[in-house]
């Protein structure tokens, strides 16, 4: 019986059809999806903090409105993704508890500080750019609710990336001090952006199985290379230098070559010792505690409606 179910699951995945919540799925598939989608949701929610830091200090009303809308979008992405984990049987309260107790991960990138307003532009350009590279293939992931959430998220991410690039273009046309601010920001965010794609394939514990299940559609290194290839010409157009002396177009490979990533730094950040890990989690915990009365009021209202 279980063999028939497994055969049908394998057939659906191989035929590029979608597994839906009602369908039988292997326990490992369910567990891997809950892990990845929950981490993704947590990243969106924690990802509101670095940029949220600049909402009150945005230089013009236009920039403030754009930034507010973007940060609100991240909250929305987190909610679609938590909803996708619920279709797999996860409990959202439980996932939030795991996040604030440091038992579940979120993207390493959000553990770096935003030191200048140029960081808002560079996050849009590089961090959202990397997110798009990683997430467009997830629109074809094998689990239906995740794939559908990704379609909408990617549309919004592409707006986010453009607003970042447009902000940087504006700053690069400004004063010498503004150009220096953009370059300093690129210097700080370039390597952490490359780390977003995860460890090199040889050290990626989950890739092989996730590719077989068609949860992941490309390996970490493939997507990282795609991002570098996409970003090199954009940096030239912008007039900034990417902080890697080994970065160079390799015409025989048809790709950019680039230098070695500091994987010690990556694992330190993933392990909780990045520059802002403690502050990010503490802030999320405080927001959760401060929101307790809202959850209680909503639950009381709902039970009153039922009775």
**Given the rule CB under 6 A, which residues bind ligand BYC?**
35-36, 39-40, 43-44, 47, 74, 105, 107-108, 127-128, 131, 134-135, 195-199, 204-207, 210, 216, 220, 270
Half-sphere exposure of residue 54: CA atoms within 13 angstroms, side-chain side: 25
Considering the complex, state which of residue 40 and residue 179 has its C-beta at the smaller distance from ligand BYC.
40
Distances (CA, A) of 29 to 75, 142, 150, 203, 219: 26, 10, 18, 20, 17
Q: Output 150 or 171, the one with its CB closest to ligand BYC.
A: 150
Residue 261 C-beta: closest distance to ligand BYC, Å: 11
- In the complex, the smallest distance separating the C-beta of residue 21 from ligand BYC, rounded to whole angstroms, is 19
- Contact indicator for 235, 165 with CB cutoff of 8 Å: no
Query: Would you say 18 or 78 has its CB closer to ligand BYC?
Result: 78
Measured CA to CA, the distance from residue 25 to residue 215 in angstroms comes to 13
Q: How far is the CB of 205 from ligand BYC (least distance, A)?
A: 4
The nearest distance, CB 252 to ligand BYC, in angstroms, is 28
Query: Between 183 and 220, whose beta carbon lies closer to ligand BYC?
Result: 220
**What is the spatial distance between Cα 142 and Cα 144, in angstroms, rounded to a whole number?**
6
Nearest approach, Cβ of 45 to ligand BYC (angstroms)? Answer: 8
179, 55 in Cβ contact below 8 A?
Answer: no
**Shortest approach of ligand BYC to residue 57 CB, angstroms?**
18
Q: In the bound complex, what is the minimum distance in angstroms from residue 77's beta carbon to ligand BYC? A: 7
Q: What radius of gyration, in Å, describes the C-alpha atoms of the chain?
A: 21
Closer CB to ligand BYC, 39 or 53, in the complex: 39
Count other C-beta atoms under 10 Å from residue 275's C-beta: 12
Nearer to ligand BYC (CB atom), residue 32 or residue 179: 32
Q: Are 147 and 136 in contact (CB under 8 A)?
A: no
Q: Which residue is nearest to ligand BYC (CB)?
A: 47
The answer to whether the CB of 118 falls within 8 A of the CB of 181 is yes
Taking Cα atoms as reference points, which of 90, 77, 231 lies closest to residue 165?
231
Structure tokens at 145: 């609710």
Q: Give me the least distance between CB of 1 and ligand BYC, in Å please.
A: 31
Specify the 3-state DSSP secondary structure of 149.
Answer: helix
Instruction: Using the minimum distance from each CB to ligand BYC, give the nearer residue, 134 or 179.
Output: 134
Q: C-alpha angle 149/20/211, rounded to 5°?
A: 75
Farthest-apart Cα atoms in the chain, separation: 71
- The tokens describing 238, both together, are 């912008």
Cβ proximity to ligand BYC: between 96 and 220 the closer is 220
| Residue number with CB closer to ligand BYC (50 or 242) | 50
CA atoms of 106 and 220, how far apart (whole Å):
16
Is 110 in contact with 195 (CB distance < 8 Å)? no
CB of 294 to ligand BYC, least distance (A): 23
């Amino acid at each position: 019986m279980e063999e028939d179910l497994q055969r049908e699951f394998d057939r659906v995945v191989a035929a590029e059809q979608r597994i839906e919540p009602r369908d039988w799925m292997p326990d490992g598939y369910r567990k891997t999806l809950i892990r990845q989608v929950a981490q993704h949701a947590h990243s969106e929610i924690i990802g509101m903090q670095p940029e949220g830091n600049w909402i009150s200090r945005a230089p013009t009303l236009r920039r403030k409105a754009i930034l507010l809308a973007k940060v609100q979008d991240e909250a929305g992405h987190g909610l679609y993704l938590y909803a996708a984990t619920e279709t797999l049987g996860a409990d959202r309260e439980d996932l939030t508890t795991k996040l604030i107790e440091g038992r579940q991960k979120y993207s390493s990138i959000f553990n770096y500080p935003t030191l200048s307003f140029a960081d808002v532009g560079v996050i849009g350009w590089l961090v959202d750019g990397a997110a798009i590279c990683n997430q467009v293939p997830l629109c074809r992931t094998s689990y239906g609710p995740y794939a559908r959430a990704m379609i909408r998220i990617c549309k919004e991410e592409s707006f986010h990336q453009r607003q970042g690039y447009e902000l940087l273009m504006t700053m690069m046309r400004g004063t010498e001090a503004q150009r220096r601010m953009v370059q300093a920001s690129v210097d700080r965010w370039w390597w952490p952006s490359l780390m977003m794609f995860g460890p090199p394939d040889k050290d990626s514990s989950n890739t092989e199985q996730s590719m077989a299940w068609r949860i992941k559609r490309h390996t970490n290194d493939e997507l990282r290379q795609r991002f570098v290839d996409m970003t090199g010409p954009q940096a030239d157009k912008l007039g900034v230098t990417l902080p890697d002396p080994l970065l160079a177009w390799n015409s025989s490979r048809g790709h950019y070559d680039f230098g070695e990533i500091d994987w010690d730094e990556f694992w330190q950040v993933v392990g909780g010792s990045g520059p802002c890990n403690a502050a990010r989690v503490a802030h999320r915990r405080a927001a959760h505690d401060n929101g307790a009365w809202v959850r209680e009021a909503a639950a009381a209202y709902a039970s009153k409606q039922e009775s």
